[in-house]
Amino acid sequence: MFEDGPVPQSEPLNSSQVCNDAGGYVWTVGDLDRLHRFLCLGSETGTYYCTKEELGLQNVDCIQKLIEDGRGEEVVKDIVEYSVEGWTAKQEPLLIALVQCARCEREKVKKLAYDALPKVCRIPTTLFQFVEFVEKLQGGFGTGWGRAQKRAVGRWYNEKSPRQLAYQITKYKNRNGWTHRDILRLGHVKPEQEATALILKYIAKGWKKVTEDRKEDEEHSEDYNDVMTYLQDAETARVSKDKDLVISLIDKHQFAWEHISTEFLKSVEVWRSLLQHMPMTAMIRQLGKLTSIELLKPGSEETKMVCDRLRDENRLNKARIHPISILSALYQYKKGKGMKGKLKWSPVEAVCQALDDAFYKAFKFVEPTGKRFMLSLDVSGSMSCSGVNGIENIMAREASAAMAMVTMRTETDHHINAFSDHLMDAGINPNMKLDEVIKTISNIGMGGTDCARPMLHAKEKKIPIDVFIIYTDNDTWFGDVHPSEALKNYRKAMNIDAKLIVVGMSANSFSIADPADKGMLDIAGFNSNCPNLIRNFALDLV
C-alpha cells in the first residue's frame, strides 16, 4: 500500500508542500485561485489560526504579486466577471482588488481598472467605497485624484441616463461619510448632457438654488424637464407631512424608503406602496420590518407577492442576489429579531419556505451528472471560527452544509458525512429545510482536522465513489495519511479513477488538492457558479 510507510500530515510528502496555519503540510493554491477565494469569501472574519488583519494583508500581497508578474489584466477581467455575474456575496473584496489595480504602476492595468469602475460600482454606495479605499491607500483626503480617476468618476455620472442618475443620487445621498458633493468637488465632473448638468447643480448647490436660477421662459430638453419634475417631487416626498401625497409620489416615481420622511416608516399604507416596486435586495433586507408591522402575515396578498418574487429565478438573477445573502436573511428572519436594534417580529412560515426555495434558485442551474458522489463536511473547530465574507451570523461549517444541499438535491447517487478527527453521520438529507440543516450541523461536536477521513472510510467500506467533494478551510493536520495519498490508494484499491474536489471555505492560500494531479480540483466556496464548476469537472469538461 505504501512503499515506505504512510507519511503523517504533520510531515511533508515532498518539497513542494508547505506548512499550513494549523501545523499540517499541504500545497499552496495558485495566485489566481487565491484571488478567487478572496473575491468569494473575503477576509473580514479571519480564521481560527489567522486574524482578519493577517489574512487581509496576505490577500493584498497576493494581488500585488499578480500585478507584478504581469497578470494584472487577468485580475481586472476576473473582478469584472465576478461582479457582473453576481458570483460574490459582498462587494468589498472586489473593490479592494480593483483599487489595487487602479493605483498600480502598470498603465495598461490601471486603464483597464478605471474603465471597469462603472461596471463594478453600479450604485453610489460602491462608488463611495471605492473612493474611500483609494483615499486610505494614498494616505490622505483628496490625494488619490489623478486624471485617470477623475475621468472614470466623470463617466460614472455621465454614462447613466438622467432619470437613472436622479434616482440614485436622491436615494443614496451619502454613505460612510462621503457625499456626491465631495465626489464632484474632488473629481471636477463635467456634465455631457443638459439634464445631467441640472442634476450635478442640484448636488452641488441644492434645490433652492436650482429653482432660483431657473428661468420659466427658457426652452429645455425633454430629459431636463423630466428630471426637474422628478427632483421637485423627490424634495416634496422628503419633507411632506401629507401621507396620501407621499404615497401618490411613491406610486408615480417608484420611490424607495430612503426618499421619504422617517415619520412614515411605521405606516403600513406607505410600506404597502413601497413594496409594489421594491428592488429584490431591498425587499430581502426589509422582510423583518415588513413582518413587524404585519404587512406580511399568513394569507395576505403582500405575503403572496413577496413569496412569488423570492421564487422568481429571473428576478433573482437580474438583481444578482447571492445565495449566501439569502441564507443569512433566512437565518436572521427565523430568529424573529434583527442583529442590531430592537426590531422584533413573528416569522411567517410561507416567507421562510420561499427564502429556502430562493437559496437554491440563486445558484446557477445545473443538470445532474449521474456520477457517484461523497460529500464530506469539515466540522472541526477551525470551521466554526471563520465566517463567510463578513456574514456575521453564518460560520463556514454551516455555510458548507448549505452548499452541499445543492449537490444533494441535484445528484441522486450521493453519500453525505461530516468529519473532524473521525468520520460521523452528518444527520442531514435533501428533504430538510435549510434552517434544520444549519441547526443539525451546529450541534455536531468539534475535534481536530483530518481531511483524509472520507477517502479512508470509502476504501474501508468499499463504497464506489466517482467524485469526492470536501468542504474545508484546509487546516488539516491530524491524520496519519495525507488526503491526496488517501485518494490515490482509494483509486488503486477500488479500481476507480475517482476525482477530488476541494471547496475552500476560507481565503487562505492552502489546499489539500495536489496541483500535479489532474483528478484534483480546488475551487472557492460560495461562488454562486460552484455547482456548475463541480459538474464540469465531474464530466471532464474542464
| pLDDT tens column, 389-430 | 556 667 888 889 999 999 999 999 999 999 999 999 999 999
- CA dihedral over 243, 248, 254, 255, signed as positive or negative: negative
Q: Kindly list the distances between the CA atom of residue 278 and the CA atoms of 153, 158, 481, in Å, as whole numbers in the listed order.
A: 27, 25, 54
C-alpha 158 chain-centroid distance: 28
Which grid coordinates are listed for 367?
Answer: 443538470
pLDDT at 46: 43
HSE of 244, CA atoms in CB hemisphere, 13 A: 0
Stretches where the chain sits below pLDDT 50 are 1-2, 44-51, 53, 55
SS3 148: helix
Which grid coordinates are listed for 490?
Answer: 482509494
SS3 501: strand
pLDDT at 4: 56
Burial of 242 (0-12, 13-18, 19+ CB in 10 A): exposed
Nearest to 486 by CA among 508, 518, 460: 460
Nearest to 62 by CA among 89, 23, 29: 29
CA distance 230 to 122: 21
CA distance 156 to 125: 13
H/E element, 375: strand 373-378
Structural contact between residues 56 and 508, judged by C-beta atoms closer than 8 angstroms: no
Which grid coordinates are listed for 438?
Answer: 444549519
Break the chain into its structural domains and give their ranges: 18-28+366-538, 90-232
pLDDT at 436: 93
The pLDDT tens digits of the residues spanning 335-394 come to 999 888 789 999 999 999 999 999 999 987 778 999 999 999 999 888 876 666 556 667
Residues 6+ apart with CB under 8 A from 535: 366, 367, 369, 541
Nearest to 145 by CA among 162, 130, 158, 160: 130
Structural contact between residues 119 and 80, judged by C-beta atoms closer than 8 angstroms: yes
SS3 174: strand
No. of helices (H) and no. of strands (E), the chain: 25, 13
CA distance 121 to 376: 37
β-strands 391-395, 25-28 pairing = unpaired
CA distance 437 to 327: 11
Classify domain 18-28+366-538 by CATH architecture.
Answer: 3-Layer(aba) Sandwich (3.40)
Q: Kindly list the distances between the CA atom of residue 179 and the CA atoms of 58, 125, 176, 189, in Å, as whole numbers in the listed order.
A: 31, 10, 9, 14
Residues 6+ apart with CB under 8 A from 344: 292, 336, 337, 338
pLDDT at 1: 43
CA distance 354 to 289: 17
Beta bridge partner(s), residue 373: 414, 467
Which residue is it, cell 462603472? 118
CA distance 221 to 76: 38
Which residue is it, cell 430638453? 221
Task: Indicate the pTM of the whole model.
Answer: 0.87
- In this structure, the chain runs to a length of 542
